[in-house]
Amino acid sequence: MTTTVLIVGAGPTGLTLACVLARRGVPVRLIEAAPGPQGGSRGKGLQPRSLEVFEDLGVIDRVLTAGRAAMPMHSIGPDGRVTRGGEVPAFLRDRPDIPYPASLITPEWRTEEALRLRLAELGGTVEFGTALVGFTQSGDGVTARLVTDGVAETVTARWLVGCDGGHSVVRKQAGVAFVGETREDVRMIVADCRVDGLDRQAWRTWRHEEGVVSLCPLPSTDLFQYGAGVAPGQHPELTRSALQATLERRTGRTDIRLHEPRWSSLWRANVRLADRYREGRVFLAGDAAHVHSPAGGQGMNTGIQDAYNLGWKLAAVAQGAPPALLDTYESERRPVAAHVLALSDARLRQMLEDNDVPVRRDASTLQLDVGYRGSALAADDRDDTAALRAGDRAPDATGLLTVGGERRLFALIGGGVFTLLGHRSTPGWPGLRVLRVVDRPTGVDELADTRGHLAEAYGAGPDTLVLIRPDGYVGLISDAGDLDAVSRQLAATS
C-alpha cells in the first residue's frame, strides 16, 4: 500500500497534522501503537493560540464545550493564606484582535476525541494497534514496516512524520540526537480520580515544606487531576492510600477524600530538544522533537502548532510547491521549541521555589507572541518600529461588514489557503483568496472595516497588501502595494 504521508502517533500532534492534510485532500495514514485511545489527562491546558488553530480546523465548538476558560487558581500557603489567580489578564480583555484571551482547561483525551471526530468527518481514521517497526528511505520516499495484531505490512510514503512522543521510535531509527537532561530530583505524581469534600470551582494548590499537592477539576468529567511533588530519594507508591496520605499531610485536611485513581503516572523532569527536525523525508513533531516541563502548559500546545506549521507545507509540496518549502519547518519551529523549553523550565523553578504561585499569565505563556520574523517566508517593507511585521501572528479583527453580514476576520480566512488583504483590485492567483477592503461591499470577496479594527491591527494604509499564510501568520506586508513581492512569495510557497 502507498500513501503520501505516514504519521506515527495519534496524540494531539499527530491528529492535528492528519486533519490539516486530510482537509487539503492529501492521502494520509495515521497509525498508533496503543490498542485504543488513551484515558489519562496528561496535558490539560490549551493556550489561546491553539484555540485559534482549532477554530480554523473546525473543532473549536467541541473543544470549548468540554473545557473551562480562565479557571480560577488558588494557591494556599502553610498559614492558610490564599493567593488567587487564573483570571484573564487585563491587557487581553475585550480585544478585537484576540478572540480567545484565556487558557482552556480540558482533559487531553477530550481534545483527542474532538480531533478524531473531525478527522472522521474529513474521511480519515486512526489505525490503533499498529506499530512502526522500522523504515528505510530513498530520494523518492520512505518504506515503512508496520505490524498490526502480529501481521506485518510494508507501506511506502512520500514522507514519514514521527509524532510518537518522547520515546519516539521514528527519531531513534532516524538517528537524530535528543539533547538535554532527565532530572531525577524533580518528579511529580499525576493521577485522575474522583474527589469527595471539595467543590469544583477552582484549581487548588497547597504549599507545604515537603512539597506541593494540587487538585484541578477536569471539566466535562467527574474527575480531578491530582498532582504531588516528590522529593529526591523518595520512592512513592501510586496507590489511593498513599496519595490520600500525602494529601492529608500537605493540606492539613482530612475531609477531602480521594477515590481509586482512574489513571496515574510518575513524571520526571525531562527537558530535551532534537538536534534537527528533519532527516531526509522523515520529520519530527511534538514530543518526538521536544519535551518540556508541564509548568506553564506549553508542551502539548507547541506540538499542535508544529503540526499546523508542517501540515500546510507538506500539502503544498504534495500539490506542486517547491520542495525547499519543507526546509522552513525546522528553521521556523525549532527556535520556538528552544524558547518554550527555557520558558517552561523557568516556570517549573518558580512553581517549586516561589511562594507567589499561581504564576502570572502573559503573551508568552499564552503563545500569542510566537512568530517567525526573519524567516525565509517573511517579507515586508516596514521599518523596525512597526508593531506588526511579516512573520508575526495575523491578528483577528471584528466588525467587518460583508454581503453575508458582519464577520470576524478569522471567519473569512484560513481553511488551508493563502489570503491577500488590500484596498485595490489585484490579479488572482490559483489557490489564493483575495479580500478587498471597500466602503460598501457588493461582492463576496469584499468587506468594509466598519469599526477600523482591521486598519488598526494591521497598520494598513490605502496601498497596503497583506498576505496571510494558511497557518495564520503574516507572510508578507507591503505598504507600497508591491504586487511583484506578492508573486514571489506565492511562487515560493504554492
- Where do the structural domains in the chain lie, given as residue ranges? 2-70+100-180+271-353, 183-268, 379-493
Predicted confidence (pLDDT) per residue in 50-68, tens digit: 999 999 999 999 999 999 9
Tell me what pLDDT residue 64 has: 98
Is pLDDT of 3 > 90?
Answer: yes
| CA count, 13 A, side-chain hemisphere, 379 | 18
Highest mean pLDDT among 7-21, 84-98, 231-245: 7-21
Average pLDDT over residues 294-317: 89
17-to-174, 293, 330 alpha-carbon distances in Å: 20, 23, 16
pLDDT at 31: 98
What cell does 466 get?
A: 497583506
Confidence of residue 356 (pLDDT cuts 50, 70, 90): very low
Strands 28-32 and 130-137: unpaired
Parallel, antiparallel, or unpaired for β 104-105 and 68-69? Answer: antiparallel
- Read off the pLDDT band of 129 (50, 70, 90): very high
pLDDT at 359 over 60: no
- Percent of the chain predicted with pLDDT > 70: 94
354 or 373, greater pLDDT: 373
Mean of all residue pLDDT scores within the chain? 93
Q: What is the CATH number of domain 379-493?
A: 3.40.30.120
Q: How far apart are CA 369 and CA 305, in angstroms?
A: 13
Cell 487531553 sits at which residue? Answer: 108
Q: Are 190 and 264 in contact (CB under 8 A)?
A: yes
**Residue that wins the pLDDT comparison between 28 and 344:** 28
Q: Does 355 score more than 80 pLDDT? A: no
- Residue 5 pLDDT: 98
Helix 299-318 × helix 327-353 angle, to 10°: 170
pLDDT at site 11: 96
| CATH number listed for the domain at residues 183-268 | 3.30.70.2450
Return the bridge partners of 216, or none.
225
For 1-5, 199-203, 346-350, 354-358, which range has the lowest pLDDT when averaged over its residues? 354-358
pLDDT at site 357 = 46
pLDDT at 56: 98
Under DSSP, the state recorded for 78 is: T
406: how many CB neighbours lie within 10 A of its CB? 14
pLDDT digits (tens, 9 = 90+) for 213-269: 999 999 999 999 999 989 888 888 999 999 999 999 999 999 999 999 999 999 887
User: Which of 268, 340, 327, 333 has the alpha carbon at shortest distance from 298?
Assistant: 340
- 472 dihedral zone (left: phi>0; alpha: psi -120 to 50; beta): left
pTM, to two decimals: 0.95
Q: Name the CATH superfamily housing domain 2-70+100-180+271-353.
A: FAD/NAD(P)-binding domain (3.50.50.60)
pLDDT in tens, 144-170: 999 999 999 999 999 999 999 999 999
From 41-50, 110-119, 288-297, 343-352, the region with the lowest mean pLDDT: 343-352
C-alpha span between 258 and 206 (Å, rounded): 16
